[in-house]
Structure 1
Amino acid sequence: MICRARFTVQAGPQGTMGPIHNALHRATQESAAMYHRSTRPSHSSRAASLALCAVLLAAGQNVNAGIGDGGESPRGRWAERMRGGAAAALPAGVRRIADLPYGADPRQRMDVYLPAAGSPAPGLRAPVIFMVHGGAWRTGDKAMPKVVEHKVARWVPQGFVLVSINYRMLPDTPVAQQAQDVALALATAQQHAGEWGADAGRFILMGHSAGAHLVALLNARPAAAVQWGAWPWLGTVVLDSAVLDVPQFMAAPHLPLYDAAFGTDPAAWAQLSPYDQLVAGTPPWQFVCSTERPDQPCLQAESMARKVHARGSRATVLPQPLDHGEINGDLGLEGGYTQAVEDFMASLDPLVARLLRR
């Protein structure tokens, strides 16, 4: 078996399974063929497995949000249900500001989760966790339970503000503009932070899968985010990205999905690659990676961490025996995984450390 994934597919109109199911079916056939043509576990066979797993595992949490074959978007209906579910599950006293705009497009919206007690201490403003969902740069939503449920339940009652954003996606918006959306959302959230009792200088970026790639792009070259009005942030948690080194990934066998995201021009690959864009003096990094995936995403995490160290910044790699979806959904549950992420967060700022010790 090439990859372990758990997901269901929502049928489209007229009983069809919709384009996401069809794409996954074709992707599975193509990557399985590439994998089995290899006589030994070469770089190419591992790369083929990596590409397949990235799609299947990312789709595992997002496929029901895919665009149907016609009529109203199932993604829109599903997102509405998720928004209602997330609001209903809020811990006592936690408040949510839904769909705060940071641009004119309907996808350029954010949800803000506020602690009941307001300021974490007299004269202090709350730190902010800024979360970017995944979904292969094509689907997903800021209110999905795996994106917010356990993170809100864990950290907002401790005095953190949590911001979860949507952004424009493929096929209408290329990945470079998606990164700009994330930067603009960050700048907007920082501008509003004072209204929420939060500190614009105490943001921690966090993203999963495609969202992890996007926050990694910002952290690799912070000046790009500053151009969109963002202020410096404390650090970044990268949750299971398979494409930190885009040229290396794209040079190996991969699925057509990644051509849609990154194109076929090696020069463009470098522009979208956190590894290639990395500058000296970035905010600290934590790379969380799944050890359950045969595509071995920890290899890219370790390579990126080595380059971060060589450029004079701090990075930690946190391998976890969880699948791709669990890396996202289990964060915030009591246990060693959440504690290790909190240890990194605490290392970024004394107030963050103080709140996490309460």
Structure 2
Amino acid sequence: MRHGWLAAGAAAAVMVAGVAAAQRAPLPAECRQQIMALCADRMGGGMRACVRQALPKLSDPCRKAVSERAAQRAVPAGARELAYGSDARHKLDLTTPPGARNAPLLLFIHGGGWAIGDKRSGAGGKAAWANRNGWAFASANYRLVPKATVEQQAADLANAIGFLRANAAKEGLDPNRIVLMGHSAGAHLAALLGTDPQYLAAARVPLSAVRGVVLLDGAGYDVARQANSGPAIVKGRYEAAFSGDPKRQAALSPLSHAVAPNAANWLILPVASRADSRSQAQGLADALSKAGARVVVKAVPQETHMTLNRSLGEPTNNATADVERFLASLR
């Protein structure tokens, strides 16, 4: 019986990473056990969705193990992996519409609590959707906490943008029509790049090149407020990323930098069922609007923190149409 239980856990782990188990080492037994403890009742169906929902509940070592497996995925069909720096994490996947010339670029920033995550597991099927709508699509990795600081993560992503702009002619991109899209911790990083000009300036990227920012269910725009109001697991992750220093927390809060200049156009999409995400979204939106940016905030119904991102681009996702309208307004 025990062997069958572990085998089922291994199958669940394969669903998490999305590739055949033969291609990679299996998840540790402890992680398979955690997954099955959360999703054992879904063996008859719905296991994949359950595993995705369970990820935030896994222990940090298991979340990191899942992230590392995801990083071993093959390059998605139609994409090319490009190195934008010297670190192993300084890589991005780029897909462009057929025959692209001067295509606008949508750059995706994955989440994972600043400590885990990967450009492929987070991006899902967004590349094909973006290409169908005339946008090139890039998904970038960045160094992770604790090996890197949040400041270094923002610098990594700014350098990724600088790299894409420097190679825009070769890749068929418009260097001055870039939209940043981030999910969860990635939403925080996208918002930080769109409000604090020091990171883009250091990468020699004019703020005007970022035509818009799309934020998917972030809750860290005011770091100190979120770090001090959430459950213990949230407080631990925020302290690991931002420390307990109020000055550093403020310096890394997009809300602190929402005075002009900012990126000009914003679409902020909290999940309707998350009070903290809705509150943080509205607080940032109010500050950005006061500073002169065009901001749309919409609480997305009938989606979770995970499904909002995973299925974005599909017609059934309750945010797809809003994002398509926003992107079309920037063409």
Residue of structure 2 equivalent to 1:278 = 258
Compared CA separation, residues 342 and 12, structure 1 to 2 (3 A): closer
Find the counterpart in structure 2 of residue 66 from structure 1.
63
1:137-171 CA-to-partner distances (Å, cap 9, x unmatched) read: 11111112x5141x212121332110110000011
Q: Distance in 2 between matches of 1:337 and 1:346?
A: 14
Selected match of 1:137 from 99, 114, 118: 114
Q: Secondary structure at the match of 2:164?
A: helix
Change (3 A) 1:65 1:180: farther
User: Aligned pair 1:147/2:128, yes or no?
Assistant: no
Task: Give 1:16's aligned residue.
Answer: 30
Q: Is the 8 A contact 1:112 1:161 kept in 2?
A: yes
**Counterpart residue type for residue 218 of structure 2:** S
Change (3 A) 1:12 1:196: closer
Q: Deviations over 1:47-103 (max 9, x none)?
A: xxxxxxxxx7763799897334xxxxx64443223x35x32xxxxxxx3211x1111
The 1:62–1:309 alpha-carbon spacing in structure 2 relative to 1, beyond 3 Å, is farther
Q: Deviations over 1:256-292 (max 9, x none)?
A: 1111011101011001100012231422111111012
Report whether the alignment pairs 1:346 with 2:322. no
Aligned to 2:72: 80
Unaligned 5+ segments in structure 1 are 1-7, 26-55, 69-73, 88-94, 120-124, 353-358
Whole-Å separation in 1 of the counterparts to 2:226 and 2:305: 18
Q: 2:91 aligns with which of 97, 109, 129?
A: 109
1:257 aligns with 237
Among the aligned pairs, what percent are the same residue? 33
Question: What TM-score, normalized by structure 2, do the two folds share?
Answer: 0.78
Is the partner of 2:167 in helix, strand or coil? helix
Residue in 2 that maps onto 1:224: 199
Q: Give SS of 1:248's match.
A: helix
Structure 2 distance, partners of 1:161, 1:311, is: 30
What residue identity is the alignment partner of 2:325?
Answer: D
Unaligned segments of structure 2, at least 5 residues: 1-11, 17-25, 39-52
Q: How many residues of Structure 1 are paired with residues of Structure 2 in the alignment?
A: 286
- Other-structure match for 1:172: 147
Secondary structure at the counterpart of residue 71 of structure 2: helix
Q: Does 1:239 align with 2:216?
A: yes
Secondary structure in 2 matching 1:110: strand
Q: Does the Cα contact within 8 Å between 1:167 and 1:178 map onto a contact in 2?
A: yes
Question: What is the root-mean-square deviation of aligned Cα atoms in Å?
Answer: 2.8
Q: Is the 8 A contact 1:128 1:160 kept in 2?
A: yes
Contact 2:187 2:218 in 1 (8 A): yes
* Partners of 2:219 and 2:277 within 8 A in 1: yes
> Relative to 1, partners in 2 of residues 1:147 and 1:179: Cα closer, same or farther, differing over 3 Å?
same
Aligned to 2:132: 157
Deviation at 1:218, TM superposition (A): 0.6
Cα distance in 2 for residues equivalent to 1:57 and 1:274 = 28
Deviations along 1:161-215, one digit per CA (max 9) or x if unpaired, are 1011000001111111111111111111111111111100011111111111001
The aligned counterpart of 1:197 is 172
The answer to which of 275-284 and 256-265 deviates more is 275-284
TM-score, structure 1 normalization:
0.73
For residues 199 and 212 of structure 2, the distance between their equivalents in structure 1, rounded to whole angstroms, comes to 16
What does 1:26-41 align with in structure 2 at a 5 Å threshold? Answer: none
Contact 1:134–1:209 under 8 Å retained in 2: yes
**For residues 329 and 213 of structure 1, do their structure 2 counterparts lie closer, same or farther at Cα, with a shift above 3 Å needed?**
same
What is the alpha-carbon distance in structure 2 between the residues aligned to residue 229 and residue 61 of structure 1? Answer: 39
- With a CA cutoff of 8 Å and minimum separation of 6, indicate the structure with the bigger relative contact order: 1
Is the 1:58–1:209 Cα contact (8 Å) retained in structure 2? no
Structure 1 residue 210 corresponds to structure 2 residue 202? no
